[in-house]
Amino acid sequence: MGDYSQKQASAVRGARWEKMSSYGQIVTPEDFAQFLCSDELGSDLGRVGYKFVRDMLVGIQRTRSVNLTDIAKSLNESIRLHATHKRLSRNLDNPALAAALSDRLLRLGAHRVASKTRLIVHLYELNKKYARKVEYLSESANCLDSGFKVCEVLASDADSEIFTPLVATVWSDQVPGFVNDADEVTKLLRRVAQATNNRGLFYFDDQSFSSEFLKSIVADPSLNFLAMMNGAELDVVYRNESVSMNELVRDVQTTYGRTMFKLIPEGVSGMSKSTDLDVFLHAGALAIKLPNSNRNLRLIALKSKNRFVGEIAAPMITTETNLRSRKGLMGLVESFLSLQDVISTHQALRDSFDPSSFRVLTYHRLQFLMTLLQGVIHYEVTFAGGGSVNDHQFSHTPHDGEVNRTYFLPEKRQATRGQLG
């Protein structure tokens, strides 16, 4: 089948699933598993594949756990618990089925991605306390820190309260063929770009990005991105001269700006109570390149000013070049500001399953287990009403609630209690 025919078939499959879910039909985890394993998304995975995927999705959701013993108990089969556990463990060691399911989940989520959709890239560590027998476990001098790295990609439109998990991968520096973290992330992004036909823009927060990642991603012209570069030491080429990014960002003229309100939770940055800051955000952009690269980039200087905190300049780098208008520049900046809201919402949902409690000993089983967890989360946020992004760190209007404020609200006298200044 040619590329065009494949795209048409994928669109038809996606439209059918959208229709199935958008007419108020109740879709159970069993229904979701049946669809994932059917020929609607590829070659039929068969009765055994469907039964295993169904049992795992149902068991993980029912127990809020990735522990095979807990999952086996929840199935309440008319055989010994040991036999159920053994069956699940045996089927979990199936890399081909794991890859097929991961591809199907990615394909299912990709049809929701439009040209301006944010493809949020987030890295975290999956630590296994005191573990030593897990295959390819990363070696660490501190036994509390031994574990794996995980990269997830979430799709979310800037004006939407929902997100869609697309794909996740697990690795460590002990896995055969490992080059570096940037290589693992770049390979995953290429999978996403292929599945979405290069729609969407990859977003990186400063905790999930580094200069090493930047160089790897810039080298691939199919990968378009926006990345916060806080804390990175990097030289860039500006007007044919090599300069320090951090020095250059301080000199960028910020053409556009607006006042927004940033909610700082209690305990963060030394705050004794949740505090709403009135922050003047202003931004400007310069055309740059990386050394030894011809790819056109933009350095965005995002500056924030508050009378208690002072002024802070944060560098961002993007492949987006149409940033001369207020809408183009500030629209991109504001779409980045809600990034952490999506990450935090997804993290809270993911952590409710306690992924670090896994007890499988082989790498392939762990990778499959994380894919199945991703499937459960996909089901919950898409069809079970979970995962809505309700809390926003940045807002165009003051945050509600009993919080300290760095500004005055004359129309709400009760809200002035506890104000700073």
- Rounded CA-CA distance 269/199 in Å is 37
What's the confidence (pLDDT) of residue 145? 56
What's the confidence (pLDDT) of residue 335? 95
- Rounded CA-CA distance 91/108 in Å is 23
Task: Kindly state the DSSP code that residue 289 receives in the 8-state scheme.
Answer: B
**Contact yes or no for 360/92 (Cβ under 8 A):** yes
Q: Could you tell me if 274 and 335 lie in one domain?
A: no
Q: Could you tell me if 353 and 258 lie in one domain?
A: no
Please tell me the total count of domains within the chain.
Answer: 2
Q: Could you tell me if 349 and 418 lie in one domain?
A: no
Helix axes 339-351, 363-383, angle to 10 degrees: 110
What's the confidence (pLDDT) of residue 131? 67
- Rounded CA-CA distance 263/279 in Å is 10
Q: Could you tell me if 267 and 279 lie in one domain?
A: yes
| 335-372 pLDDT per residue, tens | 999 999 999 999 999 999 999 889 999 999 999 999 99
* Among the listed residues 294, 289, 286, the one whose alpha carbon sits nearest the alpha carbon of residue 324: 286
| 209-238 pLDDT per residue, tens | 888 899 999 999 999 999 999 878 899 999
Q: Could you tell me if 198 and 236 lie in one domain?
A: no
- Rounded CA-CA distance 364/93 in Å is 6
- Rounded CA-CA distance 150/142 in Å is 19
Task: Kindly state the DSSP code that residue 370 receives in the 8-state scheme.
Answer: H
Q: Could you tell me if 118 and 236 lie in one domain?
A: no
Q: Could you tell me if 118 and 7 lie in one domain?
A: yes
- Rounded CA-CA distance 410/401 in Å is 15
Which residues of the chain have a pLDDT value below 50?
A: 1-7, 9-13, 21-24, 26, 141-144, 413-421
What's the confidence (pLDDT) of residue 159? 86
Q: Could you tell me if 17 and 120 lie in one domain?
A: yes
CA angle at residue 153 from 356 to 37, to 5 degrees?
80
Q: Could you tell me if 208 and 238 lie in one domain?
A: no
> What's the N-to-C CA distance of the chain in angstroms?
68
Q: Could you tell me if 79 and 178 lie in one domain?
A: yes
Please give the single-letter amino acid code of residue 8.
Q
- Rounded CA-CA distance 379/253 in Å is 46
Tokens 């997830």 found at: 152
Give percent helix, percent strand, percent coil of the chain, each to the nearest 5: 40, 20, 40
Helices (H) and strands (E) in the chain, counts: 12, 13
Domain that residue 246 falls in: 232-319+397-421
Residue 36, φ and ψ in degrees, nearest 5: -60, -35
What's the confidence (pLDDT) of residue 121? 96
Q: Could you tell me if 114 and 48 lie in one domain?
A: yes
What's the confidence (pLDDT) of residue 98? 96
Residue 406, φ and ψ in degrees, nearest 5: -100, 20
Q: Could you tell me if 365 and 403 lie in one domain?
A: no
